[in-house]
Amino acid sequence: MSALPRLVDSHCHLDFDDFAAERGEVVARARRAGVGTMVTICTKITEFPTIRSIAETDPDIWCTVGIHPHEAASEPDTDEAALVAFADHPKVIGIGECGLDYHYDYAPRDRQAEVFRTHARAAKRAGVPMVVHTREADADTARLLTEESDGGRLAGVLHCFTSGRDLAMHGLDLGFYVSFSGIITFKNAGDLRDIVRAVPLDRLLVETDAPYLAPVPMRGKRNEPAFVVHTAAAIAALKGVSAEELAEATTGNFHRLFTKAARAA
């Protein structure tokens, strides 16, 4: 595996059971691959203490706090003030992942929207970015982000982007970043690769969404942060830049957005 300098895996789930038996070695493999920073993302507020404790074990692991749209109806009601208080912790660098998922509709859509708005308002109050999950909900996601943008006070990232070009461009217009996962390496992802080409280099992030969505050539395996090097290499080729330039750009983008995160040594 070729190593790239100072890459950031901006979105993974190190708390998931998939990593429980070897979390330390997973982190070590990431470092050996050239991944200096990892963000372990909260999907259930009830599991936030575990996620935070993982971030506290390592100076280069950070976390978020939030409720995934799948869990919007099943997790305890969490108000704006509670999210802001959680985000005050020095290892918590963002709010989310939150958003709208109409593919599965595990939670009623009105409840998803209510939780999404609460997270957006908490992110603005806390002064941290929001990590947005959206699937088959482009129009409603664009509308909600516009309504909550508050003159540019709402910052964030459209994570694991698989939506249409219009939403990507709308997010960019609102000042958001767009993050791409291993999906861009999949054979049938031609439209998504076109969006990668269209998003400016200074607004791109890379992620694994591990343990899901392992990129080619690791497809079929459990994904892990080390594999972000393959996604980064694919994006570099699409953008016509070197692997080193891509790593430098995406790491710089990450730190401009997630200002609480210290750079890896």
Cβ atoms of residues 160 and 11 within 8 Å:
yes
What tokens were used for 260? Answer: 């609480």
Q: What is the pLDDT of residue 6?
A: 86
Percent of the chain with pLDDT over 70: 98
Q: What is the pLDDT of residue 187?
A: 96
| Helix (H), strand (E) at residue 121 | helix 109-126
Phi first, then psi: give them for residue 99, nearest 5 degrees: 150, -145
| Helix (H), strand (E) at residue 53 | helix 48-56
Alpha-helix residue ranges (DSSP H) falling in 135-242: 138-148, 165-173, 190-198, 228-239
CB atoms near residue 216 (< 10 Å): 15
Q: What is the pLDDT of residue 3?
A: 43
Residue 242, C-beta contacts closer than 8 angstroms, at least 6 positions apart: 236
Average pLDDT value for residue range 169-192? 98
Q: What is the pLDDT of residue 53?
A: 98
Mean per-residue pLDDT over the chain, rounded: 96
What tokens were used for 123? Answer: 């992110």
Q: What is the pLDDT of residue 5?
A: 56
* Residue 168 pLDDT exceeds 70: yes
**Pairing between strand 35-40 and 61-65?**
parallel
Under DSSP, the state recorded for 205 is E
Nearest residue to 165 via CA among 146, 183, 154, 178: 178
What tokens were used for 213? Answer: 């969505």
Taking the model in full, what pTM does it have? 0.96
**Pairing between strand 61-65 and 92-101?**
parallel
Percent of the chain with pLDDT over 90: 97
Amino acid at 240: G
* Cα angle: 47, vertex 134, 44; to 5 degrees: 5
Strand order through the sheet with 92-101? 7-12, 35-40, 61-65, 92-101, 130-135, 156-158, 177-180, 204-206
* Cα angle: 185, vertex 187, 192; to 5 degrees: 60
Q: What is the pLDDT of residue 4?
A: 44
Cβ atoms of residues 182 and 214 within 8 Å:
yes
| Helix (H), strand (E) at residue 158 | strand 156-158
Lowest mean pLDDT among 1-15, 88-102, 118-132: 1-15
Average pLDDT value for residue range 190-204? 98
Taking only the tens place, the pLDDT of each residue in 24-56 is: 999 999 999 999 999 999 999 999 999 999 999
Residue 143, C-beta contacts closer than 8 angstroms, at least 6 positions apart: none
Taking only the tens place, the pLDDT of each residue in 201-252 is: 999 999 999 999 999 999 999 999 999 999 999 999 999 999 999 999 999 9
